[in-house]
Every structure is written in structure tokens, then in C-alpha cells.
Amino acid sequence: MLIKELLSFEKLNATQKNIFNKIINNERLSIEEGVELFNFELGSLGLLANYRNKQKNSDKVYFNKNIHIEPTNICIYSCKFCSYQRKINQEGSWEYSIDDILKKVTEYKNTDLTEIHIVGGVHPKRDLHYYGEMIRGIKNIIPNIHIKAFTAVELDFMIRKAGFSLSEGLLKLKEYGLDSIPGGGAEIFEPSIRKQVCDEKSTSEQWLEIHEAAHKAGLPSNATMLYGHIENRKHRIEHLDKLRQLQDKTNGFNTFIPLKFKQANNSLSYIGEVNTLEVLKVFAISRLYLDNFDHIKSYWPMLGKDVTQIALSFGVDDIDGTIDDTTKIYSMAGAQDQKPSMTTVELVQLINDSGKKAIQRDTLYNTIKEY
């Protein structure tokens, strides 16, 4: 078998050979085997992840035409890894009105934009109805736009503030026009680590419960993991395992997005950041462990274009979208791209130059155009 020869099968230990055979035979990996994957050579992981990715996606790499809207960075929480949040009247804070948001959306009224992604801080005075009216206003301007909005942490607060149960609140937001939800707020599920980095906000159990309820309400979602801070490799695999279990149950996740911790301007800056080798390992291992996820995304505004392009050889099949310089979450944390925006031509070239086939998609991975 060519892949066995390419990764020097004879150099693997007995455990690694068993893992190799399970991957080739499409058998599910255990948590312990997932942790062991971190001990594989990077090149071997890339070969295996690329093999699995080709089975699922051939040589296709997806992108969409999207913008991000961040209504406010005012937040009741003070997560230690966050460079974004501010308190009311604090320097650097913002809180755009609904009219401000709709004015911005109007700029895209006659374009081929397909998705608006809305996330922000957990504002103490804004509830489900406030954001519901914002969604309704956006849909009045661009009726066919897909709105992917609100992390589980935002949803938890705004639904409770409006006096709804979780299921009632999600259905109400769907009635307003919500189409799907992003994957933020998952951070790391391990309770002892979560207590140290984001103790105030929704628990890992609540995050999973909210996404399960969203799937049941007909709202698909994404999933994320924040890595490279004080967690260890086993914590990462245990996080992936919980996502895999929920996907088995609902099949409601569209994609998984590993998010590298960025050190600038936050309380964990002293930790530093993991290197590119570790980033690529996380992508590859995510692809191998999450056997029931079709897509793995590299969020290029966070990692930069060069690393994202390399990641396409490590199990990644999606690179997000055009963005159009509409997000500050990672630029404020020291991301390489301080003004994140790529044209369709640039995205297609980045993908094609890596030997892959560029596919413009909608939010649910239906093909709009092949390049």
C-alpha cells in the first residue's frame, strides 16, 4: 500500500501501527489512540489526514462569500484568554445600534453575499428580542441571506434574559429569521481548565446542551475548540470526543474549527503561543478523530494565509470566506491579518495553488460554483 510506504510504516511502534490500520479501515479511534496521534511524525499525520479527507471531500476546498457583524464587544464576562471584551464606557468599547447594523448591511444589498455571521460580547442590556429585531431587519434588506449568529454563551444569556426556556428561545429566534449558529464559546470542555480560563460563563455541559437543542430545533451549527493555552493534549482529545458523541446523536454540526490561542492583550499573554507544527498536528488529528464530521475549517484571519494554505495538506477542506475586513476578534488578539479580507480571486488562487479544487459554497455546504 503506497501510503504505508510513504509514512515509513516499519518505524511505527506497535500502538501506532494499530492506529494506522484502524484509520485505513475506517475504524473509530479511542481517546487514548487520539492522544497517541500527537506522537506521530508531522509528515505521517499529514498523509493520514489527507487520505481521510480525500475519502470525504476528494480534492475540494470550500469557501463562501460572507461578512462578520460584531454588534458589541461589551461583555458581562472577563475570560482570561479574551483580548476583545470591554465593559460599558470602557475605552475601546463599542455597541452599535440596530440602525447602525442595518446601514452596514445595506451596503451589501445588491451583491452576491450569501452569509452574515453575527457574534459579539454578552451585553447586559440586550435580550433575545433585541437581536431578533436585528435579524428581522437584516432579512428585510436581503431576504435570502443566511444568518449564522450567536455563540452558545450569547444564546444562554439572551434567552434567559427574555424569560424563555432554551427550546422556546431557539424557536423564537428561528421565527425571527435565524438560520444556524456558529461554534464559539466552546473553548475547552475540561472543567478544571475551563474554571481557570473562563469560569464565569456557560459550562461545557451547557454549551453541548444548547447545540443539541439547536439541532433539534432545525438550526445546524459549527463546533470549535480553543487550544494552545493551559490545556494538555488529552484535554483536546476529550473535547473532540464530546463533539463526536453529540454528532453521533444529532448529526447537526456542519464543520469543526480548531482555534489557536492568540496571546496579545489578554491575561494569558505570558503563556506564548504554540508553533505551526502543533497547529498542523491539531488539524490533522481533528480530521482523523472526528470521523463523523464532514468538514474541518482553517479560519484564515486567525492563522494567516500561508499557514492556512499549508493546512490544506493536513485534513482541512474549508477556509471560511471573504470576510471583507468585518471582524476584530482576532486582530485585537494579535492575528497576522490585521485587516482580514480576501477577494474571490485571491481565495481561489490560494486553494488552486495548493493543488486543490476551489468550491464556492453556501453555509450548509451546497455548491454554488466550482472553479
For residues 26 and 157, state if they share a domain. Answer: no
Phi, psi dihedrals of residue 137, rounded to the nearest 5°: -65, -40
For residues 12 and 160, state if they share a domain. Answer: no
For residues 334 and 283, state if they share a domain. Answer: yes
Angle, helices 152-161/128-141, rounded to nearest 10 degrees: 110
- Compute the distance between CA of residue 225 and CA of residue 260 in angstroms, rounded to an integer: 8
Q: Range of 8's domain?
A: 2-53
Residue type, 84: Y
Residue type, 169: G
C-alpha distance from residue 55 to each of 34, 59, 294, 295 (Å) = 20, 9, 10, 12
For residues 289 and 315, state if they share a domain. Answer: yes
Across the chain, which has 371 residues, the per-10-residue mean pLDDT values are 75 92 96 97 94 97 93 84 78 90 94 94 95 98 98 96 98 98 95 89 94 98 96 98 98 97 72 92 98 96 91 96 58 46 87 96 97 93
Of 166, 159, 210, residue with least CA distance to 184: 210
The domain that contains 365 carries what CATH number?
3.20.20.70
For residues 66 and 45, state if they share a domain. Answer: no
Task: With residue 48 as reference, give the H or E element that holds it.
Answer: helix 42-57
**For residue 333, what pLDDT is reported?**
40
For residues 21 and 68, state if they share a domain. Answer: no
Count how many domains the chain has: 2
For residues 42 and 135, state if they share a domain. Answer: no
DSSP-derived secondary structure for 155-222 = HHHHHHHTT--HHHHHHHHHHHT--BB--TT-----HHHHHHHHTTS--HHHHHHHHHHHHHTT--EE
**For residue 329, what pLDDT is reported?**
46
The last residue of a domain, from among 53, 68, 85: 53
For residues 27 and 128, state if they share a domain. Answer: no
For residues 47 and 69, state if they share a domain. Answer: no
For residues 130 and 269, state if they share a domain. Answer: yes
**For residue 258, what pLDDT is reported?**
96
